[in-house]
Structure 1
Amino acid sequence: MKRWPGILAALSFLPSAFGQAANGKIDRAAALRELRDFSPSGMSRRLGPDYAAYPRAGQEKFPEVWMVPAQQGPGGRIWQVGGPWTKSAGDYSSTQGQVLFVPDAGAFPVDRVTIIEWAHGCFAEAPLPPWHGGFRPEPASEKWRKAAPGGNVGMPIAMARGMGYWANNGLAVFSSGLVAAAGTVTARGLEPTLQLPAGKIPTAISITNKSEFALITLHDPGKRTGQVAVLSMQTNGKKTGFVHEWQDDHAWSLPSVGLFTDLKLLGFVDLPGIEFPTGVCAVGNDLNHRLNGRDGNAGLLREYDLARQADRDVFAKGPNAGYGSTAGFAVVIGKYENKAAFLDLQPLFERIREMYFTTEENYRKTRNSGTDPRQWPFSFETDPSWRPPVVKVLDVPRPTAVIASLAGGAKARALIASEDGKVGIYTVGGLATKDPASADAVARAGEAQVGRNPVCLAYQKHAWDTFIAACRGDREIVWIRIGESEPRVVRRLRDARLLDPVFVESADTHGIEAPLITVADFKGRKILNYRYGPLVFATQGGARFGMGPDGKAEFECGGVLEFPGSPFCVSATNVN
């Protein structure tokens, strides 16, 4: 394994070095240099202090989590749990997605990776190169290069998928201003791209629950302000042949399974008090409502034709009235300014419902869609009424990561992590419901203490009240439960092979129960899988497997996949 040059190990990550002048004010020139530095050391500085940056009394001894041995099936395919291999594939399940990394010279900075796979009675718990469809580089990379200015996509900054539903495609944003879609082996969509206006510097991205809108944080050097770009995504099952999607040539920002066919920039929201935004999380208020078919069982979007008033009524006030979000919010953090801004997304969700699910007159307006600002979906300049307003800006010391509840309602919360390891829990009031949003309702209600520099916050799948933090400063992964009372830490993962955790994601599954996370190890130049709960072959006999050599351990390492560079983001989804 290649090792980082010694200079990186000695880098200082003191707060004063992160775009801060000696008097505590923002050093604009330094901040801009940092946001434009895509070298390994520059990207590491973005991520903040690592384990070596903090003084310690002595050398700490880390446990070594047991790694399940690999076995090999026909064709050389790897698996670890279950078996023996059977000729019948059974209820096939796999999870694939993209890994973003700071590349070595000559390497492209995005790969497509298989996170887990279950087939032929065998479960592959290790991250692996896909056996079909492309691996290194990401198969969409050629299309991205053709769309990028001068053929250079630049450095990937971040990638996101809708986290409240099946999201086949994600969007990656690059330093060149390119926004590009990527999917899986069976769900690539049309891999649309969009170029942000020249000069704007993207810093983060988030996508709402059911792939309706993407929010990208930016610095605008000309205006000397921070902004949020709002994108609408189109899906069209007629063009892609995807049976799970809307069969409509004009389906923009409808709740969907995220197989994108086009992207449109609606406009920008200025961020008062934040010139250099560093993170964002955008959510709706619908998580648990399934799509009901005409027969009352679980259905497919292709069953419905919104040209029919009866079908529009199904989504406005009928069995699928709860399928899409009616409200939502976004939280933007500014590490340079020590601020967090709360945006009300209800105007966006309300407008989509109004245009697609109500009258014939409104529906007909969606039939003239396209790239012109006056075509549907209308730009904010054409129709300012659906531009999301900023409801409140709060002081937050050195915010490093942000996440928010997907389900909405009175229990919805926002979580904002600070560099010192405190994770603040915030009430959001009407931002998460159809009630009016109130600045007074947005307030810090509690906090949990995790490891230092929690640079990433993630969802634990199927647990509305539990979140996961990747704590770079203490080389640990920490689970936080907010519950009904005081937030508390419920689990900590430390492993000797985990050198520099900077990102964590909980894996999608189908047909199995497999509580599993993927961690990006920046200086370790690898990603790792860890299982933290029993594996159950739910739809194929119900076999159950614990963790560790005796099945009784708290964690199990599923495997390691190395990269020609330093990974810092993972975005994956279930393969249909």
Structure 2
Amino acid sequence: MKLFVASLALALAGPCHAGKPGSELPEGQAPAVGGDIVDASGKVIASAYRALAYKFGQDEGVAYRFGPPASKAGVPTLPLREDIGAISHCSGGPGCKTYYQLGKESSTRDNAYVSTHGVAIGTPDTPNSVAGSVAWFQAQATDRETWMQRPQLLWQDRTLSPPALRDYFSRGALSPNSAAGLPIAETRGEGGPDGPSTRMSLVATQGSPTEGATIYTVGTYTAQQRAFVRLPAGKVPTALAVTPMSEFALATIWDTVALKGQVAVIALGGVPMNRTWEKRDDWYDWWHDWMDGSKPGFPNQGGIGFMKVVGYVDLPANVTAPTAIKVTTGIDPVAMTVHPVGKEISSIGALGSPLAGKRAKFLPGGEFYERYAKGGVAVVTSQSEKTAAFVDLGPLFRHFNSMYLDTAEKNAQTQKLGMGASQWPYPLAPGSMPVVAKVVTVPGTPVAVETTATLGHWSKDDRERVPGTPYWRTTPRYARAWIATREGELHIYSLGRYAAGPKPTTPKPADIEPVGKVTGLGSNVTYLAKSKGFPGRRDTANDSVLFTARGDRAWGWVGFSDDQNGGSVIRRMADSRVDPIVVTEADQYSTAGGVVTVADYTGKAIRNYRFSSVVYPRNSNQTSFCPQDKGGCPTLTPEGEYAGSLDLPFRPFSVHSSNAP
């Protein structure tokens, strides 16, 4: 390990640039302590910082972010569940088939078809090949009473490279053979299936000292809206997050000019697929989203067709090199869903259109008032500086909610969209800019962060019976942030009233406090992800979390206690085939299945594994395919099973998937 760190230190050494406060590298001095980008006092060294910023997607950057490759020996090899058949979706040869591993193709009943699509990014085999560093694929599917758990090409589009890239090349958003266009960060909102933040992945490029980075969308086959923003040269996005109702994207920034850390705030707006925000006279009902124009910064159904940077939050001097970010508002995105009595299910977007004439529905006392966020908090960590910053998003949400709802005059301004400073959404000003509420020192090296999905201050679940009486009392379960360290610990922080939920709160910095920790996650922990369906958990997105332990070739789940202040590792999986950097769960929609998708960096592949039984959503008298009353179809071993792989032309370091709408 010492030899690896020393080589990284040499790789990070680079020429000095003019800039603001930071430690320039005197001649003959070692670049940093332990091969990091900070000196003995924990202060960022400017030359190492600037050199690393433009290598985040290359070997040096991957080593910095995710540690050394997995090398553990003696890890078991999980058995592979083989293909047993294929479904043809078109006429032609093998390229028209998708392969299944359970069930038997049947067209005699209604087809409960569900498809989960994913996006992966990584370090390309061919230098500077942007098209060779981004892929989309089918992560899993249920089709014609069969179960498909092997990652494979989409049957709707038999190409590994997303067609969105071709559009961005033609529009000048990306250059197909420029190092500045290589991806370095990717995220997709994780929550319940069909949650509005889960439709699309956001991808950020590294940029260059002379060319600004780009942040753009890549969706599923049925959510292919296009949107992108270009950042000023010198601002390098290192991690991404999206708010639960797709109101905003947040990107951590290394500012290589001013030598400071920032969070870029990007307003997101939905549009129907194959439409644009500029022209709305031919809009249609796309998943019950707004019918009267895009509303950036307000709840939408996640078909992002509008993006605009509205401001940059400066982080404190001890968070100059942020490396991870996650966000919660304390309200579940499913709160947007409305099911009027006797009518088809809809959402506050469709039922609230046109907003100009229906603002009262969203004001206090209105039927939709408790169906959108009133605040939130972003949790930002810096692994080099061993710090975490908690950013209060309350001013941001109050400002945007006010513009849409307070008066007819303000609402009229929101209908004049554009990319200029005088067009909506406007640049953030004091009073509307998010503010850093608190910065803490994290014990160890913080490499990943995740938050609870709900548990807002006003959650309706936060009640319990007073023992021996017929009465109830309020028992707030404040939202939590979980910060994982490379050394294998998970630190739990209460977010108090900052995750407001559906009604306003008045949070104080003292609300944010450490409340416990979990140990024993493993060696070289690299990532945390939402748990979407762990068997036996009451509220899996809030009472458990998925982690990746690259050093052990493993991943697992932490289950939390009822008070959210402690927990333990409740399940672990490992496989000898894989060098896991990121592991995420696939959505469990109608068919339960327990599949995780692994970015195998050294193996240049996406690998799937199944950890629980497949349960098809029908009674046994209707089908013999994994019926619920017979316990479904278990994994090949109690430890799980290998579900197959998809080879890539790059070494993946990020992957996410979601149910395709």
- Give the 3 Å change call, closer, same or farther, for CA 560–305 of structure 1 in structure 2: same
CA contact under 8 A between 1:347 and 1:386: conserved in structure 2? yes
CA contact under 8 A between 2:591 and 2:614: conserved in structure 1? yes
1:456 equivalent in structure 2: 527
Q: Give the Cα–Cα distance (whole angstroms) in 1 for the partners of residues 657 and 73 of structure 2.
A: 33
1:527 equivalent in structure 2: 606
Match of 1:286 among 331, 338, 342: 331
- Give the 3 Å change call, closer, same or farther, for CA 444–565 of structure 1 in structure 2: same
Q: Give the Cα–Cα distance (whole angstroms) in 2 for the partners of residues 260 and 224 of structure 1.
A: 31
CA contact under 8 A between 2:613 and 2:635: conserved in structure 1? no
CA contact under 8 A between 1:162 and 1:210: conserved in structure 2? no
Q: Within the alignment, does 1:185 sit opposite 2:265 as a pair?
A: no
| Structure 1 position 108, deviation (Å) | 1.8
1:123 equivalent in structure 2: 147
Q: Within the alignment, does 1:339 sit opposite 2:387 as a pair?
A: yes
Residues 44-90 of structure 1: CA deviation (Å, up to 9, x unaligned): 3133323558xxxxx74112222211122243320011224436670
| Structure 1 position 230, deviation (Å) | 0.2
- Give the 3 Å change call, closer, same or farther, for CA 161–562 of structure 1 in structure 2: same
Q: What are the equivalent positions in structure 2 for 1:530-541 lying under 5 Å apart? A: 530-538=609-617, 541=622
Q: Give the CA RMSD over aligned residues.
A: 2.6
Letter in 2 for 1:412: A
Q: Give the Cα–Cα distance (whole angstroms) in 2 for the partners of residues 482 and 349 of structure 1.
A: 30
Q: Within the alignment, does 1:436 sit opposite 2:516 as a pair?
A: no
- Give the 3 Å change call, closer, same or farther, for CA 66–362 of structure 1 in structure 2: same
1:56 equivalent in structure 2: none
Q: What are the equivalent positions in structure 2 for 1:368-407 lying under 5 Å apart? A: 368-380=416-428, 383-396=429-442, 397-407=444-454
Residues 396-433 of structure 1: CA deviation (Å, up to 9, x unaligned): 13210111112033331001111111110001112112
Residues 166-222 of structure 1: CA deviation (Å, up to 9, x unaligned): 432221111121111111111101x11110111111111100111110001111122
| Structure 1 position 134, deviation (Å) | 4.7
| Structure 1 position 228, deviation (Å) | 0.5
Letter in 1 for 2:615: V
Unaligned runs of at least 5 residues, structure 1? 1-6, 54-58
CA contact under 8 A between 1:294 and 1:303: conserved in structure 2? no
- Give the 3 Å change call, closer, same or farther, for CA 51–84 of structure 1 in structure 2: same
| Structure 1 position 103, deviation (Å) | 0.8
| Structure 1 position 150, deviation (Å) | 5.2
Unaligned runs of at least 5 residues, structure 2? 10-31, 89-96, 208-212, 273-279, 458-476, 534-539
| Structure 1 position 282, deviation (Å) | 1.7
- Give the 3 Å change call, closer, same or farther, for CA 234–388 of structure 1 in structure 2: same
- Give the 3 Å change call, closer, same or farther, for CA 506–320 of structure 1 in structure 2: farther
CA contact under 8 A between 1:89 and 1:119: conserved in structure 2? no
Q: Give the Cα–Cα distance (whole angstroms) in 2 for the partners of residues 234 and 513 of structure 1.
A: 31
CA contact under 8 A between 2:260 and 2:320: conserved in structure 1? yes
Q: Within the alignment, does 1:206 sit opposite 2:260 as a pair?
A: no
CA contact under 8 A between 2:586 and 2:658: conserved in structure 1? yes
Letter in 2 for 1:72: G
Count of aligned pairs = 559
Match of 1:488 among 548, 561, 568: 568
Match of 1:172 among 170, 181, 203: 203
| Structure 1 position 243, deviation (Å) | 2.3
Residues 370-403 of structure 1: CA deviation (Å, up to 9, x unaligned): 21223221211xx332110100011113210111
**Structure 2 length-normalised TM:** 0.79
Bigger drift between 360-369 and 308-317 goes to 308-317
Residues 342-397 of structure 1: CA deviation (Å, up to 9, x unaligned): 001122222333233443333222122221223221211xx332110100011113
Q: What are the equivalent positions in structure 2 for 1:40-189 lying under 5 Å apart? A: 40-50=58-68, 60-75=73-88, 76-86=97-107, 90-105=111-126, 106=129, 108-145=132-169, 146-148=171-173, 152=178, 154-164=181-191, 165-166=195-196, 167-176=198-207, 177-189=213-225
| Structure 1 position 104, deviation (Å) | 0.5
Bigger drift between 528-537 and 270-279 goes to 528-537
Q: Give the Cα–Cα distance (whole angstroms) in 1 for the partners of residues 152 and 74 of structure 2.
A: 29
**What is the DSSP-based 3-state SS (H/G/I as helix, E as strand, rest coil) of the residue aligned with 1:214?**
strand
| Structure 1 position 39, deviation (Å) | 6.3
- Give the 3 Å change call, closer, same or farther, for CA 11–317 of structure 1 in structure 2: farther
CA contact under 8 A between 2:269 and 2:300: conserved in structure 1? no
Letter in 1 for 2:330: N
**Structure 1 length-normalised TM:** 0.90
CA contact under 8 A between 2:6 and 2:35: conserved in structure 1? no
Q: Within the alignment, does 1:268 sit opposite 2:268 as a pair?
A: no
Letter in 2 for 1:204: A
Q: Give the Cα–Cα distance (whole angstroms) in 2 for the partners of residues 455 and 38 of structure 1.
A: 15
Q: Give the Cα–Cα distance (whole angstroms) in 1 for the partners of residues 617 and 495 of structure 2.
A: 37
Q: Give the Cα–Cα distance (whole angstroms) in 2 for the partners of residues 308 and 221 of structure 1.
A: 43
Q: Within the alignment, does 1:307 sit opposite 2:387 as a pair?
A: no
CA contact under 8 A between 2:254 and 2:262: conserved in structure 1? yes
- Give the 3 Å change call, closer, same or farther, for CA 411–482 of structure 1 in structure 2: farther
CA contact under 8 A between 2:557 and 2:572: conserved in structure 1? yes
1:29 equivalent in structure 2: 47
Q: Give the Cα–Cα distance (whole angstroms) in 2 for the partners of residues 228 and 361 of structure 1.
A: 30
- Give the 3 Å change call, closer, same or farther, for CA 315–529 of structure 1 in structure 2: farther
**What is the DSSP-based 3-state SS (H/G/I as helix, E as strand, rest coil) of the residue aligned with 1:322?**
helix
CA contact under 8 A between 1:284 and 1:329: conserved in structure 2? yes
Residues 22-44 of structure 1: CA deviation (Å, up to 9, x unaligned): 66543321232222225642233
**What is the DSSP-based 3-state SS (H/G/I as helix, E as strand, rest coil) of the residue aligned with 2:370?**
coil
Letter in 2 for 1:44: V
- Give the 3 Å change call, closer, same or farther, for CA 162–316 of structure 1 in structure 2: farther
Bigger drift between 83-92 and 13-22 goes to 13-22
* Shift >6 Å, 4+ stretches: 7-15
> Which has the greater radius of gyration?
2
Bigger drift between 384-393 and 242-251 goes to 242-251
